[in-house]
Every structure is written in C-alpha cells, then in structure tokens.
Structure 1
Amino acid sequence: MNEQHDNGALRASLEALPRALRTLHKALIDVETVYFGALGSALEHLQLITHHPHFAWLQPMSALMAALDEALDEPGKLTRQAAAGWRAAIEELVGPGTPAGAPFRTKYLVLLHDSPEVAMAHGALRRLLGRI
C-alpha cells in the first residue's frame, strides 16, 4: 500500500511538470516574439516558432516537453530513478545543473533576467522540481 501511495505522489509531482514547462515555454515564446517584431496570423506565428532560426534555440525545451508528455501517458509505474532523470534533464536546460546545450542556457538566462513573466514561471518550475 505504501509503495502505491509513493508511486501516486511521485506521478502527481511529475504530472504537474508539463503544465509548468508549458507556462515557461509560452513566456519564452512571448518575449522572443516581441524581440522578433510584428507577426501576421496565428498560423504564421506557429510557422515562425517551429521553423525560423530566431526561435530554434527553444527546440530542446519543446522536445523535452514532448518526451515527458509521452512518458506520463504510459500506464506503467514510475520509479524514483525515472523521476530523478526527468528532474536532471530539466535542470540541464534551466539550471542549476550542468547545461546540456550552451546555446539554450545562454539565451534562457538572458530572458530570465529580462522578463518578469519568465522569472515567475521559472520560480514555479523550480518549486515543483524541489518536490521530486
């Protein structure tokens, strides 16, 4: 019973991460969009985010979010080791872990200091990571 409770609590903590990552990702996109300049339709905006070099640095976070969503969709039991791996992967992107990709971390740190929205989303993500 205790193991089931531990797994449930672990799953709940991990399931909160995608929402926090999406909030942070959106804040980063919003700031980058302002820096990029005027855009057309929502479709043009999506095309820019997914294909324009100005937004390419965000791809590691996008890929990590997709992989985490896929892992959480699996019905199997989550282990503490798997949770620690997800925490480490996120921390490689946003800190304080050793950066996996210097271009992402460099740009991220600039926006973290430039944008209150990014800073608040970062703080919320860090609080969640502290529970894992």
Structure 2
Amino acid sequence: MNQTNANAPLRASLQALPRALRTLHKALIDVETVYFGAVGSPLEHLQLITNHPHFAWLQPMSALMAALDEALDEPETLTSEAIAGWRAAIEELVGPGTAAGAFRTKYVILLHDAPDVAIAHGALRQLLGHLPRKG
C-alpha cells in the first residue's frame, strides 16, 4: 500500500474538521452578535466581525480555520504527526485543558451559556477523538 492510500482514512478524518470548526465558529459569532446588538446589513455584520474589538477574540479560531483549509488544499500526504499537530492546535483553543487567554476565557463562558455552542463543541470533540494525539 502506498503512502497516499495508507493515510487516506486520516486525511478523511481531518477533512471533516473544517465543517465542524465553521459550525462552531458560526455559533460563537451568532451568540456574540446577539450580545453586541443590531448589526445592519450582512456586509456591515462582516465588517464588525473582522474589525470590531467586540469580535477580536475570535481571531485565533479564524486564523486556525484558514491555515487548516490551506493545509488540506496541499496535494502532499499529511502524516500522522501533522494531523496530531492539527488536533493539538484545535484542542489548545477548545479544550480539554486549562489553557489561558482571551479566546479560551470567552469560549468557556459561551460554551456554558449557549446551547448551540455546546452542541457544535460536542460534534467537534467527537471528530477530534478519531485523530491521533501528539507524542
């Protein structure tokens, strides 16, 4: 079996993550938008999400999602170690663990306050459970 075929199941598992991350990200944005108040048009909403300090704490997740999308677009085979690195990077943001920081602080609050965030979190955690761990 060649390297590409050997890693096909791992790559498939990793490819399920962007959708789960986007669902979670959208749930976080939806809750934060309610807390923020009226936002106007969809373009004004996008401007707020990308530029307003109220939404700035979401930047680490946005950046991670973009980097993961780029990695999945690359034609080379992803190794188990690389996939374990993606799992670790995502878990650094959404747990488990006791990582500190603005993202984690806000995330934990919304995880407990918003059912849609909790549901999306659970779906993401389930996918992560199928990926290899570092070390």
Does TM, scored on the shorter chain, surpass 0.5? yes
1:85 Cα offset (Å): 0.2
SS of the residue corresponding to residue 30 of structure 1 reads: helix
- Following superposition of structure 1 onto structure 2, how do residues 11-50 of structure 1 map, counting pairs within 5 Å? 11-50=11-50
Tell whether the 8 Å contact from 1:111 to 1:118 is kept in structure 2 after alignment: yes
Q: What residue in structure 1 maps to residue 114 of structure 2?
A: 115
SS of the residue corresponding to residue 122 of structure 1 reads: helix
CA distance, structure 2, for counterparts of residue 124 and residue 22 of structure 1: 11
CA distance, structure 2, for counterparts of residue 114 and residue 46 of structure 1: 23
1:5 Cα offset (Å): 3.6
Unaligned runs of 5+ in 2: none
Tell whether the 8 Å contact from 2:23 to 2:120 is kept in structure 1 after alignment: yes
TM-score, normalization by structure 2 = 0.93
Amino acid at match of 2:44: E
- Following superposition of structure 1 onto structure 2, how do residues 1-132 of structure 1 map, counting pairs within 5 Å? 1=1, 3-99=3-99, 102-132=101-131
Residues 73-106 of structure 1: CA distance to partner in whole angstroms, max 9, x if unpaired?
000011000000000000000001452x511000
Tell whether the 8 Å contact from 2:17 to 2:127 is kept in structure 1 after alignment: yes
Kindly, what percent of the aligned residue pairs are identical?
79
Q: How many residues align?
A: 131
1:57 Cα offset (Å): 0.1
Tell whether the 8 Å contact from 1:13 to 1:128 is kept in structure 2 after alignment: yes
CA distance, structure 2, for counterparts of residue 78 and residue 127 of structure 1: 20
Tell whether the 8 Å contact from 2:24 to 2:117 is kept in structure 1 after alignment: yes
Change in 2 beyond 3 A, CA 1:57/1:106 = same
Unaligned runs of 5+ in 1: none
